[in-house]
Structure 1
């Protein structure tokens, strides 16, 4: 895979901006990917998107995930990244299950169109120069429309450097249990390139178990690290053979929360907006700790850094790390139906670009 430990922070909309990536990277090595960037917004130099592809000086290697449906636009975006030295690695998103993406034929809907997938991968690899191009995908649209084995073989043929598989279908969204056996089948199908596994890694031991059970070359971690940058220290220790695990006190968690919010203020240049953006992290950081409901509400509704710091100072800083926190974090639940363009399932070999496929909004 080229990085050690073989661990990737999955891009998550509104989460994996530079301040959060820096906190995670301090804990342990790996690859830390920015929020999903749409190819159209990048080539059109959308100001918000250009801000999103800024990296902290300490970040190396720099990793961008692109979402695109038009091979020409994807090629132009990758060439722009390579020529303007915007990143050291490009990942292509074929895994996003949200309706506004799949109904345009993007994300986890796209690999069903085998020829279109091949055209996009070829355009990306051709325009990347020396930059490695990887892809992240799901098993398929649903259990009746599985695409991951075909997509993996196409990726290997087109020179993709590695594949990450979230072992759920788009219909599963983030619900149910990840099917790790699919990761093993993909590894058997494309032994010539690294395969990374994603899905239900809530602690470092889950990562070791996934590698042992599937033979995958590394892991991709998403929701498991929400409110828990320390997971990357655990993962580094685990892959180095150490049984040591990070167990921060509530005081150490509070200090990390303050740093996270301060980093967002520096990133967004607007304190009120940055502190409001941080609110969603409060529950994740405090998961399992004994904190009164009123104080939790105060922290989750703070409007300034000073307000946030006042609340953090009132936490019981000596409280130890709570047991039984290696459990799911973040959104979950299945979808009743995957939103797709009209007639999308009629012809899996259709290579045409769907109308209005390219979004100009980055972040997922």
Structure 2
């Protein structure tokens, strides 16, 4: 997995987001030029136990060529076993390890951001995953739990053979509040010799260019919701309103097809998270009507009228 070569190109990465970065959205982002995409976070133990939810998160669309799954867990042996299983089931090209999720239900299990305070265990995890899978391993980090330096951890991960670090510019305590500190992300990049991708508060082409000027790779997360075409725009490509409308409709149809085994009503309800972002510029009454609707035709009509409109997400 040539992360460094991919980052030489103009463009951004789609970062994993729970309930959002599923196969339909990843496929759409890739179509607009995302450098690569990563699955939603999968708990290693759940995957090893055969959880249907975990297996669902590991599903990739046949058209997805560059398949990367994100795993989380506390025990290096267990995570390595899960990585080996995931690679076998999904034909993965790389493994992404989550060492930055700040959510209490993850941290309380010793996973996610809990690893920020344990460089030895984190490094062991990278070593074992590499050994068991033979795949490149990227790692998602934050700027410590409460602002302590993350540099010792970054160096330990580098020594363990990590292929790339993706650093969110907030501490775990901040979660998604405050501002992402890209200067501190740049300091991590200056301390290591492996590629570093930053994330946090990238919501426009201007944001992207400012972060790219720091010499860093750039990942988009919430800034891509409701506008997957931003992956084309950061590459300097113009996307007109009709293309944006068509993309939103394509996303809806792909989503409904992808989740058809759950039934149309449930699949449409699951799209509402994305729908709210596409309809950000719509009048409140129309937005509410579409968000409550269980009629795909009505939702398509609202998407056609408002996706990509001025002021949309």
- TM-score after normalising by structure 2: 0.91
- 1:134 alignment partner, SS class: strand
Q: Which has the higher helix share?
A: 2
Q: Verify the 8 A CA contact 1:111 1:147 in the aligned structure 2.
A: no
CA root-mean-square deviation:
2.0
Whole-Å Cα distance in 2 between the matches of residues 264 and 85 of structure 1? 20
Given that residues 225 and 277 in structure 2 are in contact (C-alpha distance below 8 angstroms), is that contact kept between their aligned partners in structure 1?
A: yes
Worse-matched range after superposition: 269-278 or 105-114: 105-114
Residue of structure 2 equivalent to 1:333: none
For the 8 Å contact 2:73–2:110, the answer to whether it is kept is no
Aligned length: 306
1:196, CA displacement in angstroms? 0.9
Q: For 2:97, what is the secondary structure of its paired residue? A: strand
Residues 334-364 of structure 1 deviation map (CA, whole Å, 9 limit, x = unaligned): xxxxxxxxxxxxxxxxxxxxxxxxxxxxxxx
User: 1:167 aligned to 2:158?
Assistant: no
Partner of 2:153: 151
Structure 1: runs of 5 or more not aligned: 238-243, 330-364
Q: For the pair shown, which has the larger CA radius of gyration, 1 or 2?
A: 1
Number of the residue aligned with 1:141: 145
User: What per-residue deviation string (whole Å, max 9, x for no partner) do you get for residues 105-137 of structure 1?
Assistant: 2211212022221221221121121x2111010
Q: Is the 8 A contact 1:97 1:173 kept in 2?
A: yes
1:246-303 Cα shifts (integer Å, max 9, x gaps) = 3x43x5544333322222221212211111111122231123x3x3322111111111
| Relative contact order higher in (CA < 8 Å, ≥ 6 apart) | 1
- Retained in 1: the 8 A contact 2:202–2:223? yes
Query: Are the structure 2 counterparts of residues 198 and 311 from structure 1 closer, same or farther at C-alpha, using a change threshold of 3 Å?
Result: closer
Contact 1:153 1:189 in 2 (8 A): yes
Gap change, CA 1:311 and 1:205, over 3 Å in 2: closer
- Contact 1:139–1:165, Cα closer than 8 Å, also in 2: yes
**Which of 26, 30, 36 pairs up with 1:31?**
36
SS in 1 for 2:223: helix
TM-score, scaled relative to structure 1: 0.78
Say if 2:279 and 2:302, in contact at 8 Å, map to a contact too.
Answer: no
Are the aligned partners of 1:133 and 1:162 in contact in 2 as well (CA < 8 Å)?
Answer: yes
